[in-house]
Structure 1
Amino acid sequence: MSTGTVRGMDHVGITVSDIEEATRFFSEAFGAEVIYDSVSPSDDDVKGEETESILNLFPGTRITTVRMMKLQHGPGLELFEMQGPEQHQPVRPSDYGIQHFAVYVDDINEAIGLFERAGGKMFTSPQPLMFPTEAGDNNFFCYGRTPWGSVIELISLPSRLPYEESTSLRRWKP
């Protein structure tokens, strides 16, 4: 594949139990803004076998709302509210599949305060990054859970990372 073909991550899709609660949470915790709704509860054109097949949904699942939000930097957040006969709780980081996304923050303590005031729960206080390739003064991270159960990492990397000594490739930073 040509390196000119891939430009970067466009959005992260998140299924939530209550779209309004999730919208409020992302707005209060991260300053996210609603761009548009692709589907509203009054729409009836996104249910049925074709949609189930396209999105690999459990039979009988109905998409009630889809909302695109934006953060100041980075990919969009596409929120899906669905109702179906078989739904499960979000995965743990030890389960297979996509298990979290990270939000880069300048002030991790302020970000934790916003996250918790918005209804999230942090697992720990900020921790120094665990891997020698990422160690540095004030390079911190911590994980938390949203009100509906998804896991989000807060990360701040103000110091040069040791891996930068051995490669010209760099992690994305806003």
Structure 2
Amino acid sequence: MSSTNGIEHIGITVPDHDKAIAFFDAAFGVEQLFSQTDTNGGPMPASQVGRMNGLRKGTKMLKVSVLRFKNGPNLEVFEIDHPAGTTNDNIADYGITHFSVNVDDIDAASARFTDAGGELLSEPYDLGAPEDGQGNRGVFGRTPWGLLIEMEQFKSPITYKPSATEERWLPES
């Protein structure tokens, strides 16, 4: 029987691949591992890859790269020639609405995020139960193209249900 090991990557579509890569590097210090379009040529039309990944007919993947955060899932960044939808999704919308980045210092991470061109939705705040605890703080921000990203700092353990058999996975510092 097959087992699930965990999330390997999250894919996002952005309006400008190169600007997005620069933002993620400036905001989070990611490493660009590889570019599938550099390796395989590009652009890649839906007629070539759509059967594999659901790319809408008549569109092309202009650029695709995989980024590595220090510790956690990778991020695959797509630029599509005719994207659909909006860039200002929120947690009331269907689908993946945001992802969270675990940080050691929420204030420094917030400053780096805004210095890179992102916009915070609020000031960092204390997390509520069951994530509450001394030093546990969070904040949501939007990238320059509108993607919602949450940043969370956990200095104290969080509270689990008594019946929980696993603990939440958190990246190592």
**Would you call these one fold, judging by a TM-score over 0.5?**
yes
Q: Distance in 1 between matches of 2:10 and 2:34?
A: 15
Q: Distance in 2 between matches of 1:32 and 1:136?
A: 28
Report deviation, 1:165: 5.7
1:75 is matched with which residue? 73
Match of 1:157 among 154, 157, 168: 154
Distance in 2 (alpha carbons) for counterparts of 1:167 and 1:8:
18
Q: CA RMSD in A?
A: 2.0
- 1:50-129 matched pairs, under 5 angstroms: 50-84=48-82, 87-90=84-87, 91-129=89-127
Q: Does 1:135 align with 2:132?
A: yes
**Alignment-mate amino acid for residue 79 of structure 1:** V
Deviation string, structure 1 residues 1-23 (Cα, Å, up to 9, x no partner): 65xx2111111111111111111
What per-residue deviation string (whole Å, max 9, x for no partner) do you get for residues 80-120 of structure 1?
A: 01111x52213221101110000000000000001000010
What is the count of residue pairs matched by the alignment? Answer: 170
Give 1:167 shift. Answer: 3.1
Q: Deviations over 1:25-55 (max 9, x none)?
A: 1101101011111114993472133423332
Measured in 1, the distance between the counterparts of 2:40 and 2:48 equals: 19
Instruction: Say whether residues 1:29 and 2:27 are aligned partners.
Output: yes
Ranges in structure 2 where 5+ consecutive residues have no aligned partner: none
Give identity over the alignment, percent: 36
Give the SS at the match of 2:130.
Answer: helix
Q: Output the CA distance in 1 between the equivalents of 2:121 and 2:7.
A: 27
Structure 1 outlier segments of 4+, above 4 Å: none
CA distance in 2, matches of 1:173, 1:98: 19
Structure-2 change in CA distance of 1:120 and 1:41 (3 Å): farther
TM-score scaled by structure 1? 0.89
With normalisation by structure 2, the TM-score equals 0.89
Instruction: Give the Å deviation of 1:168.
Output: 4.1
1:45 and 1:111, CA in 2 relative to 1: closer, same or farther beyond 3 A? closer
| Matched position secondary structure for 2:55 | coil
Does 1:144 pair with 2:141? yes
| Contact 2:126–2:137 under 8 Å retained in 1 | yes
**Aligned partners of 1:33, 1:50: CA distance in 2, in Å?**
28
